């Protein structure tokens, strides 16, 4: 009979991505609530001893598939490898990141294992021994609680990045690491031939704690320099609305929203963005939202914790200067 919680982590370029610790921590909380075991799965290349760090987050056991062919995510390699590990472990709950790769992996994994998936969850609970997942519906207009049919095991759920708290349970703890070597299909149609990184030092939007985003109100690409300067002072990433992306002012990778990235930073500063429902779908779960807009009736203000009704070209330079002073 299926039992235990298994978390799937993301390991890239020699380290875990931050969301892995969030998923591991939530896995620990769910395992405690279910009163069952917890383990983690790591796929990658050159994982080495790094996997044992998950012990800090309360994961006692880690299964590592370490192979050059797993250095970059491809569904054709990852899905069969993880499926084989999961068939062996036979957990009742599988948690994974709802990252770009995780969204692809989760759907394929659930289909492969012929079970159900709750995607992009923001909360879990265990009631009378039943595992339940909460996820946004209709582009974040409302939330629904889900539970799995008793025939659907494991219960696969992906965790929205930056929502679940990463909790160090024991700073000195190390997880027991076991190497596993499931067969990696050799007849894969997709191979990663080259990885082109964005400029180094750029903070990935989905992992950023603070985001400064600009919209059509920025009036042109050159004015984003203002936001970049502010972002640099705050240690923030720069995002954009679709209007700014469609105008060619920012790359598509910067787009926040329904057809862009879903972000959940602690602080989201929306500058010259009206707050269309499709934009709110991507940033509405941010912890604190600050909006700068000269139109007091802009819909973004109904979602914002702090609203500044002002011309952004007057406000942003003054604000940046104040941040600079405060920092020094
Ligand atoms: C299927 C679909 C998917 C979509 N997906 C997305 C998505 O992923 N992300 C997304 O963002 N949008 C998306 N959209 C588009 C969305 O509907 C809006 O058109 C878009 O978000 C508007 O961008 P904006 O707020 O920058 O521009 P606008 O709506 O034009 O707003 C500009 C704002 O700037 C303010 N402003 C202007 N000048 C100044 C100034 N000097 N100082 C201060 N404020 C100023 C104005 O008052 C205004 O509120 C999608 C639409 C559809 C139909």
Residues 140 and 227 in one domain: no
With a 6 Å cutoff on the Cβ, whether 25 touches ligand 1 is: no
**pLDDT value for 309:** 98
Task: Name the residue with tokens 């429902």.
Answer: 277
Q: HSE on the CB side for 80, CA within 13 Å?
A: 11
Contacts of 260 (CB under 8 A, 6+ apart): 242, 245, 252, 254, 282
**pLDDT value for 200:** 62
With a 6 Å cutoff on the Cβ, whether 309 touches ligand 1 is: no
Q: Which residue has the higher pLDDT, 206 or 148?
A: 148
Instruction: Write out pLDDT tens, residues 171-183.
Output: 999 999 999 999 9
With a 6 Å cutoff on the Cβ, whether 72 touches ligand 1 is: no
CA atoms of 63 and 69, how far apart (whole Å): 17
Nearest CA, atom 39, ligand 1: 217
Contacts of 232 (CB under 8 A, 6+ apart): none
DSSP-derived pairing of the beta strands 210-214 and 237-240:
parallel
The string of DSSP letters for 9-42 reads: --EETTEE-HHHHHHHHHHHHHHHHHT--EEEEE
For residue 11, the cross-strand partners are 16
**pLDDT value for 149:** 95
With a 6 Å cutoff on the Cβ, whether 259 touches ligand 1 is: yes
76 contacts 101 by C-beta, under 8 angstroms: no
Nearest CA, atom 28, ligand 1: 274
Instruction: Write out pLDDT tens, residues 219-240.
Output: 999 999 999 999 999 999 999 9
Q: How many domains does the chain have?
A: 2
Q: Mapping DSSP to helix (H, G, I), strand (E, B) and coil, where does residue 187 land?
A: coil
Residues 108 and 174 in one domain: yes
**Atom of ligand 1 minimally distant from the CA of 275:** 25
Residues 54 and 105 in one domain: yes
Q: How many other CB atoms are there within 10 angstroms of residue 198's CB atom? A: 11
pLDDT at 206 over 90: no
Residue 95: pLDDT band with limits 50, 70, 90: very high
**pLDDT value for 80:** 96
Q: What CATH number corresponds to the domain at position 235?
A: 3.40.50.1220
**pLDDT value for 1:** 77
**pLDDT value for 237:** 96
Residues 172 and 23 in one domain: yes
Instruction: Name the nearest CA neighbour of 284 among 292, 296, 295, 276.
Output: 276
Residues 24 and 161 in one domain: yes
Residue 199 lies in a domain: no
DSSP-derived pairing of the beta strands 117-121 and 38-44:
unpaired
Q: Mapping DSSP to helix (H, G, I), strand (E, B) and coil, where does residue 80 land?
A: helix
Taking the alpha carbons at both ends of the chain, their separation in whole angstroms is: 59
Average pLDDT over residues 67-88: 96
**Atom of ligand 1 minimally distant from the CA of 215:** 26
pLDDT at 199 over 80: no
Domain enclosing residue 161, as ranges: 5-179
Q: HSE on the CB side for 94, CA within 13 Å?
A: 31
With a 6 Å cutoff on the Cβ, whether 231 touches ligand 1 is: no
**pLDDT value for 216:** 98
Instruction: Write out pLDDT tens, residues 284-296.
Output: 989 999 999 999 9
**pLDDT value for 318:** 98
Average pLDDT over residues 161-168: 92
CA atoms of 175 and 63, how far apart (whole Å): 10
Residues 150 and 236 in one domain: no
**pLDDT value for 131:** 98
What is the whole-number distance in angstroms between the Cα of residue 57 and the centre of ligand 1?
40
**Atom of ligand 1 minimally distant from the CA of 312:** 42
Q: In the numeric block, which tokens belong to residue 140?
A: 């974040």
Nearest CA, atom 44, ligand 1: 293
What is the whole-number distance in angstroms between the Cα of residue 134 and the centre of ligand 1?
28
Task: Name the residue with tokens 């941010």.
Answer: 286
What is the whole-number distance in angstroms between the Cα of residue 241 and the centre of ligand 1?
6
**pLDDT value for 231:** 97
């Amino acid at each position: 009979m299926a039992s235990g919680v298994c978390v799937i982590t993301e390991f890239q370029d020699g380290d875990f991505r931050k969301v892995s610790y969030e998923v591991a921590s939530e896995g620990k909380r769910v395992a405690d609530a279910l009163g069952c075991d917890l383990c983690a799965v790591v796929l990658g290349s050159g994982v080495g001893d790094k996997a044992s760090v998950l012990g800090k987050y309360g994961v006692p056991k880690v299964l590592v598939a370490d192979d050059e062919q797993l250095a970059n995510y491809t569904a054709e390699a990852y899905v069969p490898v993880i499926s084989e590990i999961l068939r062996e472990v036979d957990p009742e709950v599988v948690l994974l990141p709802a990252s770009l790769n995780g969204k692809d992996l989760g759907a394929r994994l659930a289909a492969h294992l012929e079970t159900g998936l709750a995607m992009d969850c923001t909360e879990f609970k265990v009631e009378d021994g039943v595992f339940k997942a909460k996820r946004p519906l209709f582009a974040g207009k409302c939330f629904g609680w889900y539970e799995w049919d008793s025939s659907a095991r494991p219960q696969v759920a992906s965790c929205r990045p930056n929502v679940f708290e990463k909790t160090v349970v024991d700073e000195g703890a190390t997880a027991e690491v076991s190497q596993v070597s499931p067969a990696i299909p050799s007849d894969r149609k997709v191979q990663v031939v080259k990885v082109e990184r964005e400029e180094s030092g750029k903070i990935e939007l989905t992992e950023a704690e603070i985001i400064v985003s600009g919209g059509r109100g920025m009036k042109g690409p050159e004015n984003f320099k203002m936001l970049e300067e502010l972002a640099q002072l705050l240690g923030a990433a720069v995002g954009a609305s679709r209007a700014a992306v469609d105008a060619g002012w920012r790359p598509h990778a910067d787009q926040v929203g329904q057809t862009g990235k879903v972000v959940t930073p602690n602080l989201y500063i929306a500058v010259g963005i009206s707050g269309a429902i499709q934009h709110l779908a991507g940033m509405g779960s941010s912890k604190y939202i600050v909006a700068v807009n000269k139109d007091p009736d802009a819909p973004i203000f109904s979602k914002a914790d702090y609203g500044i009704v002002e011309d952004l070209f007057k406000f942003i330079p003054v604000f940046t200067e104040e941040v600079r002073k405060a920092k020094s």
